[in-house]
């Protein structure tokens, strides 16, 4: 340790300098330089350059990675196509509530929705719903065509002959009822010609004219008495449909089409 005034070396424990008498100061502790901060293992050392206004040089050392820059402005959210939703709903409804109209609308709206979504790419969503509605509508139409192709022949072969015969018998019944009411509640004087004045589109004939070949499309008349008559007809399958009226009452059944006022003999 040395005197701060004259620079003479002082001994340990001297309170004053033996040369100039200056009070000795406290011994100065040796200051250790700070330890070098090492970057974490695996981190890359990069150069950090700082330019000063006086043009001082750059000092190299490890710096932490720069924070991530904020992303750009968020894009507005896509809107779902209302046409696509409507197409899907109608496509599903076409199998339950509105099979024909719903299927047609589902196909039209689905096609329009897909075109609109393609035109506004990235702004409108719902392409999957539009495709689903379009497909459902097409499937519904195809199934309907298949059902019609199968059902129409069945109706034509099985159901239509009996329906046609019952219609003929029903029209014959109406003519007989009109004649009965217009003839003072009596069947006297009834004839195929007289019945034709009430139902001109029906081919009436006497039962005696029935040749036995079961020709259909003819309503045969049989007068049993002034209070009772019988009519019958054949279906195209050869089955017999007949009905008997007594004093204006057809076998005691109602006048309704569904009432069992007629008799069926055969398989039709």
* pLDDT of 138: 92
pLDDT, tens digit (0-9, with 9 covering 90-100), for 145-186: 999 888 888 877 777 888 899 899 999 999 999 999 999 999
- The percentage of the chain sitting over the pLDDT mark of 70, rounded to a whole number, equals 75
State the DSSP string of 119-174.
HTTTTEE-HHHHHHHHHHHHHHHHHHHHHHHHHHHHIIIIIHHHHHHHHHHHHHHH
pLDDT at 87 over 60: yes
pTM of the entire structure? 0.47
247 Cβ contact partners less than 8 Å away, ≥ 6 residues apart? 185, 227, 228
* pLDDT of 97: 83
* pLDDT of 53: 41
94 Cβ contact partners less than 8 Å away, ≥ 6 residues apart? 100, 101, 102, 103, 106, 136, 137, 140
pLDDT at 191 over 80: yes
Mean pLDDT score, 120-141: 88
Mean pLDDT score, 247-252: 78
* pLDDT of 62: 54
pLDDT, tens digit (0-9, with 9 covering 90-100), for 34-82: 566 565 555 454 444 444 444 444 444 555 566 655 544 434 567 888 8
Which phi and psi (to 5°) does residue 221 adopt?
Answer: -115, 135
* pLDDT of 9: 77
The DSSP bridge partners found for residue 245 are 229, 250
Given pLDDT bands bounded at 50, 70 and 90, which one contains residue 202?
Answer: very high
Listed range (21-35, 60-74, 200-214, 253-267) with the worst mean pLDDT: 60-74
Half-sphere exposure of residue 187: CA atoms within 13 angstroms, side-chain side = 23
Mean pLDDT of the chain: 78
Listed range (62-76, 175-189, 222-236, 248-262) with the worst mean pLDDT: 62-76
Name the one residue in this structure whose structure tokens are 């502790």: 29
């Amino acid at each position: 340790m040395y005197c701060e005034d004259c620079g003479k070396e002082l001994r340990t424990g001297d309170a004053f300098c033996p040369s100039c008498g200056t009070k000795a100061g406290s011994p100065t502790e040796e200051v250790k330089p700070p330890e070098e901060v090492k970057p974490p293992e695996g981190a890359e050392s990069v150069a950090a350059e700082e330019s000063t206004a006086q043009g001082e040089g750059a000092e190299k050392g490890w710096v932490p990675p720069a924070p991530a820059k904020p992303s750009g402005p968020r894009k507005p959210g896509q809107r779902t196509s209302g046409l696509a939703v409507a197409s899907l709903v109608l496509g599903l409804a076409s199998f339950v509530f509105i099979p024909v109209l719903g299927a047609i609308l589902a196909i039209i709206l689905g096609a329009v929705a897909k075109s609109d979504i393609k035109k506004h790419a990235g702004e409108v969503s719902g392409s999957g719903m539009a495709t689903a509605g379009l497909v459902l509508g097409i499937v519904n139409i195809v199934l309907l065509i298949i059902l019609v192709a199968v059902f129409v022949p069945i109706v034509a072969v099985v159901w239509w002959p009996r329906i046609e015969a019952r219609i003929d018998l029903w029209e014959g019944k109406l003519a007989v009822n009109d004649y009965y009411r217009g003839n003072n509640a009596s069947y006297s004087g009834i004839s195929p010609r007289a019945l034709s004045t009430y139902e001109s589109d029906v081919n009436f004939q006497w039962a005696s004219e029935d040749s036995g070949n079961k020709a259909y499309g003819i309503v045969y008349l049989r007068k049993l008495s002034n209070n009772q008559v019988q009519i019958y007809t054949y279906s195209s399958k050869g089955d017999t449909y007949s009905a008997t009226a007594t004093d204006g009452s057809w076998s005691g059944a109602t006048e309704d089409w569904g009432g069992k006022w007629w008799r069926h003999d055969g398989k039709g």
